[in-house]
Amino acid sequence: MAKFDNNFVDELRMRLSVVDIVGRRVPLVKKGQNYWGCCPFHNEKTPSFSVSEEKGFYHCFGCGAHGDIISFVMNTEHLEYPAAIRELADLAGLKMPEIKPKSPVRQKFEDSYFDIMERATNEYQKLLFEPVGADALAYVRGRGFDDATIKKYRLGYAPKNNLITSKFTDIKQNNLLATGLVRHGEYGMYDFFRHKLMFPIFDAKGKVIAFSGRSLDGSEPKYINTTDTELFHKRQTIFGFNFARDEIYKKNRSIIVEGQIDAIQMQVHGFGETVAPLGTALTEDHIAILCKSNRNIIFCFDGDNAGQKAAARACSIVLPFIRDNSDVRFAFVTGGKDPDEVLKTGGQDAMAKIINDAVPLVDFLWESVNKNYLVSTPGGRAQAEKFLETELKKIQDKKFQYEIEQEYKKREYQQWRSWKKSDTPKIKLPDTDAVTKNTLIYIVNNFPDIASQYADFLSVLNISFDDTAPDLGWDARAAEKFIVSLKLQRYRATLEQELRDKMQGMINGENYTNEELNDIKKKISDIDEKLEKLLYME
């Protein structure tokens, strides 16, 4: 069987969710940490087919079928390996590579890469505890890191001189250059990281694939990362994920913070499910990786404008990945602090409160729209509605998308259409009886499109539509028929009152004409005709 480069196959597995792939053919229900359904490979009535998002495979306890996304596509669609890879690549949006086994040269290069990165990590670790690394050690201890934490995350120090260039002379220059640790300069090779506090970046298996270096002299940028290499891509690498995987599985969620120090501090203070992007904005690849472990995510950002913008971007990115059983929330650290500072001053309890008070995605998006658009004006409301429509189209679960749309339409109707007692009609309308009131509350809460269409009429009735009402089991046609009928009856009542007032006025000598009275009578007659037609309308 022809084989693809392992890196490409691994990227397919990283980008695509086994639950999504299997779920295209098998209805799945989440029970505990896994998803269950009836096995597609043998007939059964009681579900014994288990799918593990965290582990990336399926297993049937009835017939023993077992595999990953590739074997599932091969077996359910009767495809050969290359064709299955091609279909999965299309789903993942990846370009197909050439079909070829990994060459011995390629394998040797990868082994060399990992060996170099491991060796560099050891060198940096040693220097952190030597006199040359005193400033870096003082800084990291000042941030609250004890020796056990320093050792666990393998922090180190890159000196001002060319450590790698001078000590790694036994390694071919091309191999060193491929790791991003050194560069070619005008006067030869030089180290990329110099006088930096070094944070190793691990892949999901715990191998060092890159570094993030923090400035120690106040120079900018504060952090620099290894440039992208053949084995390291910032857009697809999450800091701390190798440490967080088990906790994400156990706690049924992940927490995303903005930087690696925050991520480490969160992990060592009881929030082991915390990760961070690498000095770049959050990407779709980051979310795809996390959603393979769990679709419950809490974004924790600073409460300033930059944090709000980052949260808004995260919200837009995560929408294609959410499902009806997802729990995505947004937490903000206010007062100019970050999670590291909160943990130092308030401890784990203070941070837990911030996390527990996180705002659900549906509410966060709604609040963002109200902040960013002038919804008190028709133009602002139109812009806001267009934005929501565009964002919600990203949700792939169409039933879930529909439910959120209906929720927002109800909010638009209740909050944007001015349900205020000051909005009184020019002509006093009769009070609304209890039955009619409950019927209207039922319609508003169940048919927001119809409610929005008749918002001007409903807004003058002085009814609190936040109340609940019994379920009438109506369809949209019956609901609209009721509102139209009520609107006509109320208009008829105002006309009758106007007719009585004018007739009394004529008796009292006021200057009304028979023509005016006949005009009102004609309107009443027209309404009666409409009501009769409405009564017999199917």
pLDDT in tens, 42-57: 888 888 999 988 788 8
DSSP readout, 153-169?
A: TT-EEE-SS-HHHHH-T
**The pair of three-digit structure tokens given for residue 522, joined into one six-digit string:** 């004609």
Nearest-angstrom CA–CA distance, 214 and 224: 7
Domain assignment present for residue 227? The answer is: yes
* pLDDT at 427 exceeding the cut of 60: no
Which of 92, 114, 141 is at the close of a domain? 92
SS (H, E, C) 429-440: CCCCCHHHHHHH
Report the number of distinct structural domains present in the chain. Answer: 4
Phi, psi (degrees; rounded to nearest 5) at 148 = -65, -40
Tell whether 147 and 226 lie within a shared domain: yes
Which of 370, 398, 424 is at the close of a domain? 370
Domain assignment present for residue 410? The answer is: no
| DSSP-H helix ranges across 357-423 | 361-372, 378-392, 398-411
Q: What is the pTM of this model?
A: 0.67
**The pair of three-digit structure tokens given for residue 80, joined into one six-digit string:** 């050969």
Tell whether 108 and 76 lie within a shared domain: no
The pLDDT tens digits of the residues spanning 506-526 come to 878 788 788 888 888 899 988
Tell whether 17 and 125 lie within a shared domain: no
Better-scored residue on pLDDT, 295 or 93: 295
| DSSP-H helix ranges across 78-133 | 81-92, 104-128
Domain assignment present for residue 294? The answer is: yes
Nearest-angstrom CA–CA distance, 96 and 69: 17
CATH of the domain at 213: 3.90.980.10
Tell whether 362 and 240 lie within a shared domain: yes
The pLDDT tens digits of the residues spanning 431-455 come to 567 888 888 888 888 887 788 778 7
Tell whether 210 and 320 lie within a shared domain: no
Tell whether 71 and 177 lie within a shared domain: no
Tell whether 202 and 312 lie within a shared domain: no
Domain assignment present for residue 423? The answer is: no
Q: Which domain holds residue 447?
A: 434-535
The dihedral region occupied by 418, where left means phi > 0, alpha psi between -120 and 50, and beta the remainder, is left
The pLDDT tens digits of the residues spanning 325-346 come to 889 999 999 877 889 889 988 8
Tell whether 14 and 133 lie within a shared domain: no
Which of 38, 69, 92 is at the close of a domain? 92
- The average confidence (pLDDT) of the chain is 86
pLDDT score, position 107: 75
Domain assignment present for residue 521? The answer is: yes
Nearest-angstrom CA–CA distance, 202 and 485: 67
Mean pLDDT score, 281-299: 87
Token pair 């250059």: residue: 177
Tell whether 215 and 150 lie within a shared domain: yes
Residue pair 65/72 in contact (Cβ under 8 Å)? The answer is no
* pLDDT at 247 exceeding the cut of 50: yes
Model confidence band, residue 429 (pLDDT cutoffs 50, 70, 90): very low
pLDDT score, position 182: 95
* pLDDT at 418 exceeding the cut of 80: no
The pLDDT tens digits of the residues spanning 179-226 come to 999 998 888 899 999 999 999 999 988 999 999 999 998 888 889 999
* pLDDT at 80 exceeding the cut of 90: no
Closest CA to 312 of 332, 290, 294: 332
